[in-house]
Amino acid sequence: MEGEIQKKKILFSGVQPSGTLTLGNYIGALRNFNLLQDEYNCIYCIVDLHAITVRQDPATLRRRCLEVAGIYMACGIDPEKSLIYCQSHVSGHAELNWVLSCFTYMGELQRMTQFKDKCAKNENNINAGLFTYPVLMAADILLYQADMVPVGSDQKQHIEITRDIAQRINGIYGDVFVVPDAYIPKVGARIMSLTEPEKKMSKSDSEDSYIAILDEPNIIRKKIRRAVTDSDTEIRFDRENKPGVSNLLDIISALSGESVESIVISLQGKGYGALKDAAADCVVDTLSPIQAEYKRIMADKAYLQGILDKSADTANKLAKRTLSKVYRKVGLAQSGRK
């Protein structure tokens, strides 16, 4: 990939190992990852440095990094085509983070809605990392001169600030960075919580609010059966007034490829029980083969670790190219060593 990197455009994305990955992560981000593998040189990162903005149990965090790598591969990311590695294994992320933070304004960071949401959820640990989280994310992306970043719609604001930082630096020093575009899916860019459908499904919320990619079929059915809908009986897409029902329709549409309109027609008059059964069938059918593949991959941890290490080596080389360019452009001292 290192040599080839010049020819194809570059795609970068990341997922935090901050919990077990959810159906929201899958529909909003992961399932698009493998679709783009042939068109782009893809770099998929497990962003463990981002995860520690919220307190994590060390042993669990370490285990989850490997699990996320396994899920990436089970969802179809091919380590022969794409890089899969841990953010903390490439020191360039943290180094570029520093430089970018000197070109990011406090006011910009204060407007980030994810920061406000995370503060509300972590009242006892509103740390500086939570505040500067988007700068590290910008560093992740700009470090590889990525053209494209597939994410769920909750990350749109973070991609915009990344573009602003890149354009600001390019404006001062000439062409330093590629300015990346977000790739946000048309359907399923924001899957909602099963228990509070006006909120985003999130892996750091309570277990019954999300479907984990690794949930057993009977658990998936149970969670969907209990999903909050409304006191009405009409199956209709109306995100504002019927968020629970709309979320289930969204999930079916995203996974089956059928339009919401035709799903609504086929379920007309059948009631919420039928809607929930249809959603559960789609989810189980999609996740079962991924779960089987995940089991197979996780049986050989040494192989998985080997992929992470090899990818990190390549990522380190790519990162160094951008970092030396940035250091040179901003005027940091050059080393006299050969």
Residues with a catalytic annotation lie at 118, 200, 203
Contact pick of 11, 14, 21, 191 for ligand LTN (by CB under 6 A): 14
Assess 203 for contact with ligand LTN (CB under 6 A): no
CA distances from 4 to 7, 8, 56, 80 (A): 6, 7, 37, 13
Query: Which of ligand LTN, ligand ATP, none does 246 bind, CB closer than 5 to 8 A by kind?
Result: none
* Site map (CB under 6 A) of ligand ATP, residues 21-60, x = contact: ---xx-xxx-------------------------------
Write the DSSP assignment of 16-54 as a string of letters: --SSS-BHHHIIIIIHHHHHTTTTEEEEEEE-HHHHTTS
Question: Beta-carbon neighbour count of residue 157 at 10 Å?
Answer: 16
DSSP secondary-structure letter at 200? B
* Site map (CB under 6 A) of ligand LTN, residues 223-242, x = contact: --------------------
Nearest 5 degrees, angle CA 121-CA 30-CA 305?
A: 95
Assess 180 for contact with ligand LTN (CB under 6 A): no
Assess 190 for contact with ligand ATP (CB under 6 A): yes
Q: Which residues pair with 148 in a beta bridge?
A: 11, 181
In the complex, residue closest to ligand ATP by CB = 28
Contact pick of 10, 18, 140, 141 for ligand ATP (by CB under 6 A): 18
Query: Which of ligand ATP, ligand LTN, none does 165 bind, CB closer than 5 to 8 A by kind?
Result: none
Contact pick of 75, 84, 100, 137 for ligand LTN (by CB under 6 A): 137
Q: How far is the CB of 259 from ligand LTN (least distance, A)?
A: 27
- On whether the CB atoms of residues 24 and 202 are closer than 8 A, the answer is yes
Q: How far is the CB of 158 from ligand LTN (least distance, A)?
A: 6
Assess 180 for contact with ligand ATP (CB under 6 A): no
Q: How far is the CB of 289 from ligand ATP (least distance, A)?
A: 20
Q: How far apart are CA 310 and CA 129, in angstroms?
A: 28
Q: How buried is residue 113: exposed, middle or buried, by Cβ count under 10 Å (0-12/13-18/19+)?
A: exposed
Query: Which of ligand LTN, ligand ATP, none does 191 bind, CB closer than 5 to 8 A by kind?
Result: ligand ATP
Q: How far apart are CA 112 and CA 107, in angstroms?
A: 9
Assess 155 for contact with ligand LTN (CB under 6 A): yes
Q: How far is the CB of 15 from ligand ATP (least distance, A)?
A: 4
Rounded to 10°, the helix 58-74/271-298 angle is 100
Q: How far is the CB of 320 from ligand ATP (least distance, A)?
A: 26
Q: How far apart are CA 283 and CA 261, in angstroms?
A: 19
**Residue holding tokens 């009977």?**
218
Give the total residue count for the chain: 338
Query: Which of ligand LTN, ligand ATP, none does 141 bind, CB closer than 5 to 8 A by kind?
Result: ligand LTN
- Using CB under 6 A as the binding rule, the residues of this chain from 28 to 57 that contact ligand LTN are 47, 50
Applying CB under 6 A, which part among 33-41, 202-210, 220-228, 282-290 lies near ligand ATP?
A: 202-210
Nearest 5 degrees, angle CA 161-CA 163-CA 165?
A: 70
* Alpha helices for the chain (secondary structure H): 23-25, 31-35, 48-51, 58-74, 92-101, 106-110, 113-121, 128-142, 156-173, 217-225, 243-256, 260-267, 271-298, 301-330
Query: Site residues (CB under 6 A) for ligand ATP?
Result: 15-16, 18-19, 24-25, 27-29, 151-152, 154-155, 189-191, 200-204
Query: Site residues (CB under 6 A) for ligand LTN?
Result: 12-14, 16, 47, 50, 137, 140-141, 149, 151, 155, 158
